[in-house]
C-alpha cells in the first residue's frame, strides 16, 4: 500500500498548506455576498450592453465560487429577465474571478498566475460578448428559454435559490457587524463549504495521485516541453480537455493546475485549464437539461474557443512583459508539518471557521444543508421587468 500512502501523503500535505487560504477566501466571499442582494443582480442584467456585462462581471465576482451553484444561478437569472449573455458572463466571473481562487493561485503557484487569471478572465468575457452578439440567434435563445422555463433540476438548485444577504439599509459596516450580518456571513460561509468540499477533496486526491504515480517524463512528452513554440500552441488547446476529463471544478482544480505546471504545461495552458471548470462533463450535462442540446453545444463550443483564446492572450501578454515564471516550482508537497507560519495561520483561521460554524448551528440553520440539492423556486418567469 506504499503507492497509495504516498499519494495520500501528498494530498494531505497540500491540504495543510492551503487550508488557511481557503478559509480566508471563503470568509471574504461570504462577507461580500452578505451585502449583495439577489434583486440587485437581476435588475442590472437585462441586456447585453457593456454596462450590463460589466455589472454581471462585478456581481459574479461577489457571488458563489461553486461551479454547480453558479450554473444554476445563471439559469435562474435568465428566467427572471437577465439576458443570456449577461447570465453566462455572470457564470464565468463567479467561478473564475473570485477572491478565493486568486488567493489559492498566489499561494500554490505565485502571484503571476493570480494576475494571469484576472487578465485572462476579462479577455474571455469580452470574447464571449462578441461571439454571442455575432452568432447567438433569436431562435436559439427562444429554444433556450423554453427549456429553461421547464425548471428541470440540475445540481445545487436549492443552494443557488437561497437568498442569504442581510436585510435593511444603512452603511456597509453597520450591516456587516450587526447580529444579522454575523449570522448571514456564517450561513454563506458554511453553505459555500458544503457546496464545494467534494470538488476540493477530489482535486487534492487527484493531485496527490498524479504527483505520486505519473513520472515527470510523461508530462514533458505530453506537453511538448522540448519544443517551446509547439508547447505554447498546444498548452491552451489541451488544458481545457484535461479539465473536462478530470471532472474537478470550482477552486478544486488549482492543486491539479500546480501539478500540470510542474509537469510542463505552458503558462497560457494553465489559465485555459482553470477556466474550463465550466465545461467539465457533469456541467455539460446540466447545460443540456437546462437549455437543450443545441444551446448546450453552442455554450460548450463558445466557452472552449474563448478559453483557448484567453490562454493565448495571457501567454503573449505575460511573455512580452517577461512575467512568465522561469522556474516550475509550484507547491505540491511539503515534506512535513512543522511549527511555521502555515501552522499558526491554519490554527488562527480554523478558530475563525469554528466561530462561524457555531453561529450557523446556533441560528438553527442546519436544515438549510438538506435543502441545497433541492429544487429552485418553480414560479420564476422571464420578463423584461423582473420581480424585486
The model's pLDDT over 186-236, given as tens digits with 9 standing for 90+, comes to 988 888 888 778 888 888 888 888 877 888 789 889 999 989 999 999 999
pLDDT band at 384 (very low <50, low <70, confident <90, very high): very low
Q: How far apart are CA 33 and CA 305, in angstroms?
A: 30
Q: Is residue 102 part of a domain?
A: yes
369 pLDDT exceeds 70?
yes
Question: Quick one: what percent of the chain has pLDDT higher than 70?
Answer: 85
Cβ contacts of residue 374 below 8 Å, gap of 6+?
157, 158
Domain ranges, residue 318: 2-371
Q: Is residue 388 part of a domain?
A: no
DSSP state string for 373-387: TSPPPTT----SS--
The pTM (predicted TM-score) of the whole model is 0.80
Q: How far apart are CA 257 and CA 270, in angstroms?
A: 6
Of the candidate ranges 30-44, 237-251, 371-385, the one whose mean pLDDT is the lowest: 371-385
pLDDT band at 374 (very low <50, low <70, confident <90, very high): low
How much is the average pLDDT of 133-138? 93
**Residue 335 confidence (pLDDT):** 47
**Residue 45 confidence (pLDDT):** 85
Q: Is residue 218 part of a domain?
A: yes
**How many structural domains compose the chain?**
1
DSSP state string for 180-214: HHHHHHHHHHHHHHHHHHHHHHHHHHHHHHHHHHS
334 pLDDT exceeds 60?
no
Q: Is residue 380 part of a domain?
A: no
Q: How far apart are CA 227 and CA 194, in angstroms?
A: 43
pLDDT band at 164 (very low <50, low <70, confident <90, very high): low
Q: How many residues make up the chain in this entry?
A: 388
Q: How far apart are CA 155 and CA 288, in angstroms?
A: 13
Q: Which of 129, 69, 61, 115 is nearest to 90 (CA)?
A: 61
380 pLDDT exceeds 60?
no
CB 176 within 8 A of CB 34: yes
CB 173 within 8 A of CB 388: no
**Residue 387 confidence (pLDDT):** 36
Find the Cα–Cα–Cα–Cα dihedral 102, 63, 274, 247, rounded to 10°.
Answer: 130
CB 87 within 8 A of CB 78: yes
pLDDT in tens, 272-327: 999 998 998 888 988 999 999 999 999 999 999 999 999 999 999 999 999 999 88
pLDDT in tens, 56-105: 998 888 776 678 878 888 888 888 888 999 999 999 998 899 888 888 89
pLDDT band at 27 (very low <50, low <70, confident <90, very high): confident
How much is the average pLDDT of 37-53? 80
Q: Is residue 384 part of a domain?
A: no
Average pLDDT, the chain: 84
Residue with cell 420578463: 383
Q: Is residue 355 part of a domain?
A: yes
pLDDT band at 337 (very low <50, low <70, confident <90, very high): low
Q: Is residue 141 part of a domain?
A: yes
Q: Is residue 360 part of a domain?
A: yes
Amino acid at each position: 500500500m506504499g503507492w497509495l500512502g504516498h499519494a495520500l501523503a501528498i494530498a494531505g500535505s497540500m491540504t495543510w498548506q492551503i487550508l488557511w487560504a481557503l478559509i480566508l477566501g471563503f470568509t471574504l466571499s461570504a462577507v461580500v455576498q452578505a451585502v449583495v442582494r439577489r434583486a440587485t443582480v437581476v435588475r442590472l442584467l437585462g441586456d447585453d450592453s457593456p454596462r450590463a456585462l460589466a455589472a454581471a462581471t462585478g456581481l459574479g465576482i461577489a457571488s458563489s465560487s461553486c461551479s454547480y451553484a453558479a450554473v444554476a444561478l445563471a439559469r435562474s437569472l435568465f428566467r427572471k429577465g437577465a439576458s443570456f449573455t449577461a447570465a453566462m458572463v455572470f457564470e464565468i466571473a463567479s467561478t473564475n474571478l473570485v477572491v478565493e481562487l486568486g488567493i489559492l493561485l498566489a499561494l500554490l503557484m505565485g502571484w503571476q498566475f493570480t494576475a494571469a487569471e484576472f487578465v485572462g478572465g476579462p479577455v474571455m468575457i469580452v470574447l464571449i460578448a462578441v461571439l454571442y452578439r455575432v452568432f447567438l440567434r433569436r431562435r436559439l435563445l427562444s429554444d433556450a428559454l423554453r427549456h429553461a422555463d421547464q425548471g428541470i433540476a440540475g445540481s445545487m438548485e436549492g443552494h443557488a435559490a437561497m437568498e442569504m444577504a442581510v436585510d435593511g439599509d444603512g452603511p456597509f459596516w453597520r450591516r456587516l457587524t450587526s447580529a444579522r450580518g454575523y449570522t448571514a456571513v456564517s450561513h454563506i460561509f458554511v453553505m459555500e463549504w458544503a457546496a464545494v468540499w467534494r470538488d476540493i477533496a477530489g482535486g487534492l486526491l487527484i493531485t496527490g495521485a498524479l504527483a505520486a504515480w505519473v513520472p515527470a517524463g510523461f508530462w514533458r512528452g505530453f506537453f511538448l516541453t522540448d519544443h517551446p513554440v509547439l508547447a505554447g500552441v498546444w498548452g491552451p488547446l489541451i488544458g481545457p480537455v484535461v479539465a473536462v476529463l478530470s471532472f474537478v471544478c470550482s477552486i478544486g482544480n488549482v492543486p491539479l493546475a500546480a501539478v500540470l505546471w510542474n509537469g510542463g504545461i505552458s503558462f497560457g495552458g494553465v489559465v485555459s485549464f482553470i477556466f474550463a471548470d465550466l465545461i467539465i462533463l457533469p456541467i455539460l450535462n446540466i447545460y443540456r437539461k437546462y437549455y437543450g442540446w443545441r444551446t448546450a453545444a453552442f455554450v460548450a463550443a463558445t466557452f472552449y474557443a474563448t478559453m483557448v483564446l484567453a490562454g493565448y492572450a495571457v501567454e503573449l501578454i505575460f511573455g512580452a512583459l517577461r512575467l512568465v515564471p522561469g522556474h516550475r516550482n509550484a507547491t505540491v508537497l511539503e515534506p512535513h508539518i512543522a511549527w511555521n507560519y502555515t501552522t499558526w495561520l491554519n490554527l488562527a483561521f480554523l478558530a475563525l471557521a469554528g466561530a462561524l460554524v457555531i453561529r450557523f448551528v446556533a441560528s438553527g440553520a442546519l436544515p438549510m444543508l438538506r435543502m441545497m440539492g433541492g429544487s429552485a423556486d418553480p414560479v420564476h418567469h422571464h420578463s423584461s421587468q423582473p420581480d424585486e
